[in-house]
Amino acid sequence: MPLVNMAAVRLRRAAGEEERESRPPPPPPSHRSNHQFASMKNKFFNELTHLPMPMWAVGAIVVVVLALVACLGFCIYKKCFNKGKKQKKARERKGGGGRGRRKKDKEGEDGDEKKDGEEEKEEEKEFFGKLEYTLDYNFNDNQLIVGILQAQDLPAMDMGGTSDPYVKVYMLPDKKKKFETKVQRKNLCPVFNETFTFKIPYSELGGQTLVLQVFDFDRFGKHDVIGEIKIPMNSIDLGQPIHEWKDLVGGEKEEQEKLGDICISLRYVPTAGKLTVNVMEAKNLKKMDVGGLSDPFVKVVLQHNGKRLKKKKTSVKQNTLNPYFNESFSFEIPFSQIQKIQVLITVYDYDKLGSNDPIGKCWIGYGASGVGLRHWSDMLANPRRPVAQWHTLLPEEEVDAALKAPIR
């Protein structure tokens, strides 16, 4: 039996070997995968060449997409990285926050003190120029004589790097009488050489303050304060003339007080050469009398190219701040001259005992601006028709300064 089994095993082995030999050899590894990749590549480039855009545009799109992906990745990294940092800082704050706050508070206080010190230094350094003036008192005539000679090193207030300075001179606290120098155009070192006289008894002079205020003239807007000098009369010795230079200090512009409004009607007939000025009414005039009222009247002055031609006055309206006049004045003006005519309207408070005080003034015609120019233009554009217009009254010295300035 064992011999039979052994023979059977040998037979099986021999049969297996024969089968192996009879099998065909395995085929070599196929290049199908390489072939598929190559065909896909060719197909992709084929498609690219048939796209309705040039290759450089495709390349640009690819670059932009890659850049966006890179930015997105960087943002994700930053966010994750900063989280750990924030948590670390939070732990540090919990542990040593008190000390840190105290340090910061101290540093803040020191910083504020430094800033304050720097601001004070800057204010000290700020320079507004200087003014040369003279003061003299005439004891015989009870007159204070103020001379405004010149200014130097004034700051530039205009866009062109210059200023148009003039000096306003008045006494506080009453401000009743104000004087102004002529405007010096485009000059940072102007020479004025003008003298003004205040008639004040010496006994009353001690309680008053002389103000010398330098302005930059602006035809089309508000005049800017360059600087000022205030001289209390009780702080100087008027026994002998005073002649000195003083630095200007920065001054705020005095608030423009409301003087009232006046309604004027103008009519011009070119064929007859006749200009009619009708003073109609005024309203909200400044109180000039002790009782809180005024006694107003209006003075109309006609000028041609700066030279006075004629003047007229209305009647006085007693105890009113809203007078009604309705008074007309006619002037013979040839058509050849009408373009350079100026109509000056001044409202006065009548005073029986002393001089009449001006309440306010306005100016219509050649060289005027704003409402004054528009009213004149409307009158010329509508011959033979009366054109009425309300005008705001301005301080007399302000209008006079504008009239003195050269017309651009």
Each residue's pLDDT tens digit, 106-153: 445 555 555 555 554 444 557 889 999 999 999 898 899 999 999 998
N-terminal to C-terminal alpha carbon distance within the chain: 145
CA distance 384 to 270: 8
CA distance 372 to 369: 6
pTM: 0.45
Q: Quick one: 344 exposed, middle or buried, by C-beta within 10 A (0-12, 13-18, 19+)?
A: buried
Each residue's pLDDT tens digit, 391-408: 999 888 888 888 877 665
Each residue's pLDDT tens digit, 267-311: 999 999 999 999 999 999 988 876 778 899 999 999 988 788 999
pLDDT for position 117? 53
pLDDT for position 225? 87
The predicted model gives 169-191 an average pLDDT of: 85
Whether the per-residue pLDDT at 253 is higher than 60: the answer is no
Determine the 3-state secondary structure of 203 from DSSP: helix
On whether the CB atoms of residues 327 and 262 are closer than 8 A, the answer is no
Strand partners, 329: 277
Going by C-alpha positions, the residue among 140, 147, 171 that lies closest to residue 241 is: 147
Lowest mean pLDDT among 19-28, 133-142, 146-155, 187-196: 19-28
DSSP 88-128: HHHHHHHHHHHHHHHHHHHHHHHHHHHHHHHHHHHHHH---
Percent of the chain exceeding pLDDT 90 equals 36
DSSP 386-401: -EEEEEE-B-HHHHHH
The predicted model gives 94-114 an average pLDDT of: 47
Strand partners, 298: 347
Whether the per-residue pLDDT at 95 is higher than 50: the answer is no
Each residue's pLDDT tens digit, 32-65: 556 666 777 666 666 656 656 666 666 777 788 8
Going by C-alpha positions, the residue among 219, 255, 249 that lies closest to residue 155 is: 249
The predicted model gives 11-35 an average pLDDT of: 57
In sequence order, which residues have a C-beta less than 8 Å from that of residue 342 and are 6 or more positions away?
Answer: 302, 303, 304, 306, 363, 364, 365, 366, 367, 368, 403
Each residue's pLDDT tens digit, 231-243: 998 888 888 899 9
pLDDT for position 130? 92
Count of alpha carbons within 13 angstroms of residue 336, beta-carbon side: 0
Token pair of 148 as six digits: 């405004």
pLDDT for position 178? 81
CA distance 105 to 394: 53
pLDDT for position 368? 86
On whether the CB atoms of residues 277 and 266 are closer than 8 A, the answer is yes
**Sign of the torsion angle spanned by Cα atoms 369, 371, 372, 378:** positive
On whether the CB atoms of residues 211 and 169 are closer than 8 A, the answer is yes
Determine the 3-state secondary structure of 55 from DSSP: helix
Any idea which residue has 């003039």 for tokens? 166
On whether the CB atoms of residues 295 and 350 are closer than 8 A, the answer is yes
Let me know the angle formed at the C-alpha of 405 by 399 and 407, rounded to the nearest 5 degrees. Answer: 105
On whether the CB atoms of residues 299 and 348 are closer than 8 A, the answer is yes
The predicted model gives 368-383 an average pLDDT of: 90
Higher-confidence residue of 322 and 100: namely 322
DSSP letter assigned to residue 233? G
Going by C-alpha positions, the residue among 130, 144, 131, 146 that lies closest to residue 194 is: 146
Each residue's pLDDT tens digit, 301-350: 999 887 889 999 999 999 999 999 999 999 999 998 998 899 999 999 99
**Sign of the torsion angle spanned by Cα atoms 60, 61, 62, 67:** positive
Higher-confidence residue of 38 and 195: namely 195
Please state, rounded to an integer, the average pLDDT across all residues of the chain. Answer: 79
Q: How far is CA 28 from the centre of its chain?
A: 92
CA distances from 11 to 2, 21, 100, 160 (A): 14, 16, 96, 123
The predicted model gives 364-369 an average pLDDT of: 88
CA distance 394 to 361: 5
